[in-house]
Amino acid sequence: MNDYLPPSDLLAGRVILVTGASTGLGRAASLAYARHGATVALLARHEPQLDAVYDAIVQAGGAEPAMFPYDLALADDRSLETLAGTLAHHLKRLDGVLHSAHQFFNLSPLHLQTLEQWQTLMRVNLIAPFALTRACLPLLKQAEDASVIFTGETHGHTPRAYWGGYAVAKAGLETLTRIWADELDSQDGLRINTLIPGQVATTLRARTHPGLSPDTLPSVDDLMPWYLYLMGPDSRAVNGQIVECQA
C-alpha cells in the first residue's frame, strides 16, 4: 500500500468528516483529504487548533472546510443528531467519516485503573464513534460510495499488559466493524473498516514509548496512502476488515 498513488482528484466532490482533526493522524488525514479534492468537516475539542488546520487547508488551495468544535466525551444522541443535521444542511452530503479522536491516560496495571477512567476511555474511544456513525448513517447511505474508518490500535488487536481500558475500547471497535459490516445491505454503497496505524511518530507514541526516537518511526504522512485508499473509491470492495498499516 505504500506504493499506492492516488490521483489528485481521488476525493473530488466528496465531503469527509474527520474527528480528532486538530492533531496527529487526524490533522494529517484532513490535509491529505483536502489535497485530493474533498471538502473536510473538521471536528475536535480545541477550536484554536482547528483554526490552524482550517488555515492550512485554505492556504494550500483546498476547498473551504467546515469546523465543529465538539467534545466527544460529552456526546449524547441529541447533540450528535444535531451535528448530523448541521452537516446535511450546510454541506448537503456526507461521503465518509474518519474516526481519529481518542482518549488516553497512561500505561498502568489494571488494578490501578479507575472506573471513571474506564468510563471516559469507553465513551470517547468506542461509544462516541458508534453513536456518531449511527447519527450520520442516513446521510452516509445517500452517497453512492461512502466509507467509515475507525482507528484501531496495535494493543487492542493483540492485547498486552498495561494497556488496559484503552486496548479494550480499541478491541471493541474491531468487533463493531465486523458486526456493522455484516448488517449493511450491499445496496447501501457504504463500507466500514478499522485501520490500525501501528508504530508512528505521534505524541501518543512518544508518551507510551519514550525511549523510541521519532526519527526511527514512520511519520504521519507516511501512512496517508492507507487513509486515502480506504476513504476513496479504490477500496469499494473492502468492507468489515481490520487493516494494519505497514509503513
Residue 13: other Cβ atoms inside 10 A: 11
The residue type found at 13 is G
229 as an active site residue: the answer is: no
**Residues belonging to the chain:** 247
The CA-to-CA distance between both ends of the chain, in Å, stands at: 8
Chain position carrying cell 487548533: 49
**Catalytic residue (choose from 33, 70, 166, 227):** 166
CA distance 17 to 68: 10
From the list 94, 45, 73, 63, the residue with the least C-alpha distance to 169 is 73
Beta strands, E only, the chain: 15-19, 39-44, 66-69, 96-99, 146-151, 190-196, 242-244
CA distance 130 to 99: 10
Contact 154, 104 (CB under 8 A): no
From the list 25, 16, 59, the residue with the least C-alpha distance to 204 is 25
Distances (CA, A) of 15 to 25, 53, 124, 199: 18, 16, 23, 29
Contact 19, 132 (CB under 8 A): yes
User: Which residues are tagged catalytic?
Assistant: 166
